[in-house]
Amino acid sequence: MSALQRDEWFERVIALAALTQAAAAVKQVARFGSIREVNAGRVIMDSILNQNPDSVKAMYPNLSELRLGLESLLQQIGATRDKDVEVTRYVVGILALERRLSNSSKALQELSQRITQMQRQKNDFQFSNDTIIASMGSTYSDLISPLGQPLKINGKQEFLQQPSNQHLIRALLLAGVRNAVLWRQLGGKRRHFIFNRQRMVRIAQQLLRELREHSEPLS
């Protein structure tokens, strides 16, 4: 970033964008039956299995895969009046679940064990993606959802009643919680939405400009 130094705020915005991407993807699955951006769901669900990344950049080397999250984040915290109340509600719910998770040593230990098991399923036994997503979904249902008020998902019943979509939505919510953990580990706090909102907006805008510049064809 030329105009803004890449510091801890840069990393916080990336983590927050990944969290927001999870919320936006949940809305897409619930209302349209799929995630419109091909890699948007994959990249954040992969983050679940990356428990000890060397850096945020190592977790998300290709920021174009977080475009949905950056755009959704900017829509929520930017100056526009075109807020997405549904995505905001999911983000707030995910942050609340993460806070409860961080206060439960038992849930944290069980979650770590489940993630290790899913890593083995994927890396050692080459389980299918559908099976891994189902495991992520059941982990969310068993360990995360009971920690707080159930997060009500709005959408079309024809999509919400499909077991594969139910697994996917819960896996995406687990990915949201995972990135909420990352955001907190990077120093993210609730008060930043009030006192540092403009700073986060400027970083998200700069990242999106960079993505647009890099995607423009050469003349």
Where are the domains positioned within the chain? 8-215
SS3 of the chain: the string is CCCCCCCHHHHHHHHHHHHHHHHHHHHHHHHHCCCCCCCHHHHHHHHHCCCCCCCHHHHCCCHHHHHHHHHHHHHHHCCCCCCCHHHHHHHHHHHHHHHHHHCCHHHHHHHHHHHHHHHHHHHCCCCCHHHHHHHHHHHHHHHHHHHCCCCCCCCCHHHHCCHHHHHHHHHHHHHHHHHHHHHHHCCCCCCHHHHCHHHHHHHHHHHHHHHHHHHCCCC
Q: Give the pair of three-digit tokens for residue 51.
A: 């428990």
pLDDT at 216: 55
Q: What is the pLDDT of residue 51?
A: 86
Question: What's this model's pTM, rounded to 2 decimal places?
Answer: 0.94
Position 18 scores a pLDDT of 98
State the Cα–Cα distance between residues 74 and 54, nearest whole angstrom: 27
CATH of domain 8-215: 1.10.3890.10
**pLDDT number for residue 15:** 97
Q: Report the alpha-carbon distance of residue 16 to residue 10 in Å, rounded.
A: 10
Which phi and psi angles does 57 have, rounded to 5°? Answer: -65, -35
Q: What angle do CA 137, 127, 117 make, to 5 degrees?
A: 60
**With contact defined as beta carbons under 8 Å apart, do 176 and 19 qualify?**
yes
pLDDT under 70 in the chain at which residues? 1-6, 216-219
